[in-house]
Amino acid sequence: MKRKVLITGAAGRIGSFLTKQWLDTYDMVLTDVREPANDHGLPFHQLNLSEFDKVRPLCDDVDTVIHLGADPSMEAPWESLLPNNLISTYNVFESAKQAGCRRVIFASSVNAVLGYPTDVQVHMDQQVWPINIYGATKCWGEALGAYYGTQTGTSIICLRFGWVVDRASEAISHKHPFLDIAFTYEDLTQLVSKSVEAPEDYKFKVYMGVSNNRWKRLDISTAREELGYTPVDDSFEIAKQREAGETK
């Protein structure tokens, strides 16, 4: 029997990719403030996650919530971050708890630790260090997850997504400042899938999300050891091959 999975932010780049990849894997329900380009015939609910009374019914009979819905801009103002990143995250966690969902997977961000120098690899035992309010909202989401995961019985897994990029994107270049935090859609899908299927006794976990890049600003050893995450893409190699092709 397929797990029932609720995806918030389903019309976004990540939500759309996950939906397409999981059509034969999970029984999905989608929600967003705007309609997805393709809902694949799945149940879709257009609503604002900041309205608790609309969010709560979506979690009924759901096994896992993939919480992607948020304002994703690093320059987002407080007036947007408050309803879209803070209130909405509380509403999703609380709704999942009330509905008895097994797990919530929270899309955190590298922005939660982006304050470390670029030549420092961030490990899980290092404190958060955001450099923008957006990153601070992700730190808050992780802290909220710690409460729900350890005190309420709802399993919470937070994933600090790096620079999410298509492996075919021309932006993957040795000149790009985020090459060391590149995270292809394929590797992201694997990490999220591994998180959905993680052991039942994982009550609160935080993992880094980047590809198998030659230099990784975020250490993924914990995700490898505990989730069996085995990323396949190396942004540096992709950049090397693309640049070599351009010089021929």
Mean pLDDT of the 186-212 span:
98
Indicate the pairing of strand 155-161 with strand 103-109: parallel
Measured distance CA(244)–CA(175) in Å, rounded: 14
pLDDT value at residue 244: 86
Which pLDDT score, from 0 to 100, does residue 187 have? 98
At 248, the pLDDT band (50, 70, 90 cuts) reads low
Indicate the Cα dihedral angle 99, 206, 87, 3, nearest 10°: -30
Over residues 14-65, the pLDDT tens digits come to: 999 999 999 999 999 999 999 999 999 999 999 999 999 999 999 999 999 9
The rounded mean pLDDT for the chain is 97
pLDDT of residue 7: 98
Give residue-wise pLDDT tens across range 149-168: 999 999 999 999 999 999 99
At residue 105, what is the residue type? I
Question: Counting runs of H as helices and runs of E as strands, what totals does the chain give?
Answer: 8, 9
Give, as one character, the DSSP assignment of residue 128: P
**Burial class of residue 39 (count of CB atoms within 10 Å of its CB; 0-12, 13-18, 19+):** middle
The Cα 195–Cα 102 span in angstroms is 12
Alpha helix ranges (H) inside the chain: 13-21, 52-55, 78-81, 88-99, 133-151, 185-196, 221-227, 235-247
pTM given for the model: 0.97
